Amino acid sequence: MFRKSSHSEDEVVGSKVLVCSLDPKFAELLDADRNSYRRFYPTTTAVTFTSVQELSAAIGKGYDVVHLFCDASPEGIAAGGATITGTSLIQMCCDSGVKLLWIASENKPDAYIKGFKAGGKPLNLVMTIHREGPKFSLFLEKLLSKMSLGETMPKAWVAIAPQSPNDPRQKESPVCIFAAGRAAVKLR
């Protein structure tokens, strides 16, 4: 498949996706989210890692999307058999050309605020607070459907979850923090 990506022309064709975990307890969620990604991105890989070194080596293989399950401590340390600060994880992804990092497991907002500093980084970052049961999979599939057709993530996100608190579609969405540090990227 043809792949091109640069900040001046931010479009990736044949996006590579890594759905992964730092703890085997997330196996069921990992499997569900992997299936959602595979519907739209055939080059999706799913792995449970036992160390940060394994995670780092995988991220270095040129993934465009990293969808990660991990616990975040109150200090913002991503943990589960291995530990790394959220900010270091973000930097690792930026250094490897990842365009979207999605922390898909539920964590408290304070953990994200304290330890996942993404300001000024060329990376779209989603941090999940509440998956809201089956709403997460439905939301993810709607979002990926739009993105795989060439819509930017912020545009796709707002189309399915308008940012008005009175919009009834807000009740159909998981609770997440979304920082669009690479708003123009298209992940086909």
Residue 108 belongs to a domain with what CATH number?
A: 3.40.50.1460
Number of domains in the chain: 1
User: Is residue 5 in a domain?
Assistant: no
Rounded to a whole number of angstroms, the CA Rg of the chain reads 15
User: Is residue 47 in a domain?
Assistant: yes
User: Is residue 1 in a domain?
Assistant: no
Helices (H), the chain: 27-40, 52-59, 86-95, 109-115, 134-148, 153-160
Which of 12-16, 34-38, 166-170 has maximum average pLDDT? 34-38
User: Is residue 3 in a domain?
Assistant: no
User: Is residue 8 in a domain?
Assistant: no
Average pLDDT estimate for 41-65: 93
User: Is residue 114 in a domain?
Assistant: yes
User: Is residue 133 in a domain?
Assistant: yes
More confident residue, 9 or 168: 168
**Residues 83-100: tens digit of each pLDDT:** 788 999 999 999 999 999
User: Is residue 6 in a domain?
Assistant: no
